[in-house]
Structure 1
Amino acid sequence: MTRTALSALAVMALLSAQLPMAARVQAQDTGFGSGSGSAPGSGSLFGSAPLGAPTDAGLDGEAEDGVDPLGREDGVSAQGRAGTRGTISEIGPGAGEEPQALATTGRAEPVQPFSERLRAVQRRSALAGGGRIANTAYAGDTTRDEPRGMRVGSFLLYPELFTGLGWSDNRAGDANGDSGATYRIAPSLRVQSDWSRHSLGINFRGSYTGYPDSGLEADPNVSSDALLRLEVGERSEIDISGSYGLSMQDRGTAESAGGDQEIHTLGGGLALRRDLGLVGAELRGEVDATYYQGAGGAAANRDRDNALFTATLRVDGNTGATVTPFAEASLLARRYMDACDNLALCEDRDSSGYGLRAGLAFDNGGKISGDIAVGWRSETLDDARLARLEGMTVDGSLVWSPTRLTTVTALANTSFAPSSLAGTPGSVAYSGDLRLAHGFSDALSGEVGVGYTWRDYTGLVLTEQEARATTALTWALTSNVALQGRYTFRRFISSNAGSSYNSNTIEAGLRFRH
């Protein structure tokens, strides 16, 4: 594990240890923007109703017991909007989080917390009028120990620490893995500004999984992002975003022939959104870089290091209707850090391309919201010997609140990944999942989820599939401590002989937060 990751996890653990010393505060009630997070008041920029606006009968955002959790007589937050205890709106805005597929071909990658997943999914349709379900949808977590936060100047900090023990029948996550004990330390921190106009959100989630009595290297995992939203007049907003991620490459995938690899991702973006009346427009530029570093004595795959540059124009309908259309057009260019100077010895994998998408966003005002889009994406590589990396795209998200204590979220996603394998420009992966959370009481909540990913390498007879199922329970012991348990089944199937495997993992531990 790198020193950077160890230092970050240590700092987070120290912050979480200070939980009892913090003053009780409340997160802002806010909507969800589209593209890179949300800010107070920004949910209605392109036609969505303010979060305090009335919704369906019986789902009006009031606490079930009629008492505001902070003791406010009028039940109105600092931003002037009502919020229901334990709902999405009460957990605060996101910081540019992206929804993560449940079935991801990454080693020892923790399941994305349900509340974070909801923030990420919910904001996707807000530009086209969504976001009102945030007042009523259950956030998927216990409310007895709901995060209250620490105020530091004009910021609210929400630290959290999980420590747990587990057992797996395939600790290595490959065809030859053995069974044995595991342990995991997972600090996280969410920071949200409490400003009257602009907004800054920061989200950090780390994990360190160790394997005692084993020669396996520990598996680090980091997911972090930040979003600064600036309001420019009444009709325009500017988003400045950044992200960093660390994960371990799955040992079963064909890309892992060079040994264990740490995958580092760095991202940055700048977006301008403007309300043009009947339509809303967004112009967005993004840079996403990926670096590979050898772990456990393996050499770094420097020939895979690359950066993707993307420019996107998005136009949304701004009618305030239940269903509104949107369309996107993108230009992209991929550049590798190590250029190919001799085509007789290597392949020039630099590329340029485009992406087109059109879809619908929907929100019925309190029960269900989401979006669905189809399109086409193509990358043409500079090396004419390699085929285009292209395919149809299908992307969508859903938040459904059938009852006040039950929330269902679904995700469909298409992703493109370059490759260093000879004869292929890369792979196209289609993934989908379904997750459900239910609150049995203020101290007990449960979750179940299933997911599937299918990856195909262009130009090769090579496919990889992953199926994952998980179930979890959280029992709040006190206002700061909860007992958590999770079982996860994973099935990895590769057309490459000898690479398929199964794994069953069970884990239990304590979560501390304030």
Structure 2
Amino acid sequence: MPNQQRRPVDVPIVVDRTQAPVGRALPNANPLGRGAVIDPVTGEVVSFARSPAPEQDPFAPTGLRLGSFIVTPTADVTLGYDSNPRRLNNGVQGSLFTQSYGEIQARSDWSRHELTARLRGTYSAYASTPDVNRPELNAVVTGRIDLARTTRIDTEAHYNLTAQSPGSSNLPGQPGTGLRNLPLIHQYGGSAALVQDFGRLQVTLRGTIDRYTYEDATAADGTLIPQGDRNYNAYGARLRASYELTPGLRPFVEVGVDRHAFDTLLSSGGIQQGSTSTSYRIGSTVELTRLITGEIAVGYLMRNNIDPTLADIRVPTFDATLVWTPTALTTVRFAARSAIDETFTTNAAGIQRRDFSVELEHSFRRWLIGTVRLAYGQDVYVGNPRLDQRLVASASLVYRASRNLQIRGEVRREALMSNQPGVSYQANVFLLGIRLQR
């Protein structure tokens, strides 16, 4: 027999073939390892059987495929107890309550462009204090249009239905002592942004418009309390430029303007309503070895009121959303926000809000997740001596029985400390619920 041709030394022994080999698997004791496959003729190792990559979250909903969309429905029923549902300083009456929650999300599965939609609603019903029953509804549709490799348009349309919060300074009266129910607030609007990449430089120009309408309130004696003078439109624009220094660091500068135009120039208290604002921010998005990700920024916000008797507002700002993942089982989230909100409190030019929160989430098991959260907020009523401090502390536990079923429990403590007499309150909330998802 002729001698077998020797393999050149520069030809690798282990090769990767796309077709499944027809050879035999080596024994597990073979030093090449479990699942090695060799060619029966030459004896070469042609491939190693690879186990499939482990699933990121085996309890995450898979969703339903409807055409080119993936739809994820969720339903949640919660039974709870609130020690102070009206958020009163005295005359406190606790109540059992139920909370019904539903959500449906849809996401396109396209190779180009993207469309997402989310609709979620909640209704809270209190057994002993029905005057604080309230609905919540949120609908958001976002779209991304890929015009070119370096150019895209981001769009959003949204609608929010909320009730004025118990204990809010904007309530025309307190539920249980002055109102039959909580007045509703409607917010609807949208935004559009043009995003252009110039190499590592990215420029974004965004425009926004929102409409806020307040439903009339009803006093305990049936008297109608009009709130139409609170309705207004908000127009805004922002220009942002960012530069990618490294794949995980993108500093940016941003300037924004907005205008609040009320339907009624004079409020019921005789104050001229309306304002214009300008904001400047400098910051960066960060991704440090995937352990710390998010965005952090500092800036300056200026607001000018139409009424000359109301003080203009000048405040520094600090905003952040950071996620730290020290281990695969533990996640820490930090958030900070600075803003100026509208207020209908007498002689107040606006509410300067600062909010901070820290959240620690830990997976004791893949199916058992615990979360503790601490949040602090401060409300400064510019032009008014009122100062409020808000504190929320909570602990929750989620048992994921399966991909489609979760059991959730939460204990929460809420407190408002105000320098105004009769405004401060405390409340303890206990929740136990079941969530179904697909």
Shared fold, TM over 0.5: yes
Correspondence for 2:113 among 180, 195, 198: 198
Correspondence for 2:144 among 225, 229, 244: 229
8 Å CA contact 2:124–2:135 kept in 1: the answer is yes
- The structure richer in helix per residue is 1
8 Å CA contact 1:261–1:300 kept in 2: the answer is no
Q: 1:83 to 1:377 in 2, by over 3 A?
A: farther
| Counterpart residue identity of residue 320, structure 1 | T
- Is structure 2 residue 120 aligned with structure 1 residue 149? no
- Residues 9-158 of structure 1: pairs in structure 2 closer than 5 A: 85-86=56-57, 143-144=58-59, 146-158=60-72
8 Å CA contact 2:264–2:273 kept in 1: the answer is no
Cross-structure match for 1:494: 418
Cross-structure match for 1:374: 298
| Counterpart residue identity of residue 137, structure 2 | V
Correspondence for 1:429 among 353, 367, 370: 353
Q: 1:223 to 1:344 in 2, by over 3 A?
A: closer
Deviations 1:320-364 (A, max 9, x none): 254331100112111002233xx9972222222311111122211
Cross-structure match for 1:332: 258
Cross-structure match for 1:170: 84
8 Å CA contact 2:94–2:128 kept in 1: the answer is no
**CA distance in 2: counterparts of 1:467 and 1:439, whole angstroms:** 26
Deviations 1:402-434 (A, max 9, x none): 111211111000121122223222111000101
8 Å CA contact 2:74–2:436 kept in 1: the answer is yes
Correspondence for 1:319 among 239, 245, 270: 245
- Is structure 2 residue 276 aligned with structure 1 residue 352? yes
Q: 1:215 to 1:311 in 2, by over 3 A?
A: closer
TM-score, normalised by the number of residues in structure 2 = 0.81
Q: Aligned with 1:255: secondary structure?
A: coil
- Is structure 2 residue 333 aligned with structure 1 residue 409? yes
TM-score, normalised by the number of residues in structure 1 = 0.70
Q: 1:177 to 1:267 in 2, by over 3 A?
A: farther
- Is structure 2 residue 234 aligned with structure 1 residue 308? yes
Q: Aligned with 1:287: secondary structure?
A: strand
CA RMSD of aligned residues (A): 2.1
Deviations 1:467-509 (A, max 9, x none): 0011111112233211111111100122221011100011112
Correspondence for 1:282 among 185, 204, 221: 204
**CA distance in 1: counterparts of 2:130 and 2:98, whole angstroms:** 15
- Is structure 2 residue 321 aligned with structure 1 residue 397? yes
Deviations 1:162-190 (A, max 9, x none): 11211121122222331121111011111
Q: 1:434 to 1:482 in 2, by over 3 A?
A: same
**CA distance in 2: counterparts of 1:182 and 1:201, whole angstroms:** 33
8 Å CA contact 2:216–2:225 kept in 1: the answer is yes
Q: Aligned with 1:196: secondary structure?
A: coil
**CA distance in 2: counterparts of 1:511 and 1:464, whole angstroms:** 35
Unaligned runs of 5+ in 2: 1-49, 174-178
- The structure richer in strand per residue is 2
Q: Aligned with 1:413: secondary structure?
A: strand
Q: Aligned with 2:171: secondary structure?
A: helix
Q: Aligned with 2:354: secondary structure?
A: strand
Instruction: State which structure, 1 or 2, has the greater radius of gyration over its C-alpha atoms.
Output: 2
- Is structure 2 residue 390 aligned with structure 1 residue 419? no
Question: Paired residues, what number?
Answer: 377
Percent identical pairs in the alignment equals 26
Which of the pair has the greater relative contact order for Cα pairs under 8 Å at 6+ separation? 1
Higher deviation after alignment, 364-373 or 294-303: 294-303
Deviations 1:202-261 (A, max 9, x none): 122221111114343412122332210111100011011022222222232322134532
Cross-structure match for 1:210: 125
Q: Aligned with 2:131: secondary structure?
A: coil
CA shift, 1:263, in A, is 2.2
Q: 1:83 to 1:207 in 2, by over 3 A?
A: farther
CA shift, 1:267, in A, is 2.8
Deviations 1:93-117 (A, max 9, x none): xxxxxxxxxxxxxxxxxxxxxxxxx
Q: 1:345 to 1:179 in 2, by over 3 A?
A: closer
Deviations 1:281-302 (A, max 9, x none): 0000011222211355563422
Unaligned runs of 5+ in 1: 1-72, 76-81, 87-142
8 Å CA contact 1:236–1:273 kept in 2: the answer is yes
**CA distance in 1: counterparts of 2:105 and 2:64, whole angstroms:** 10
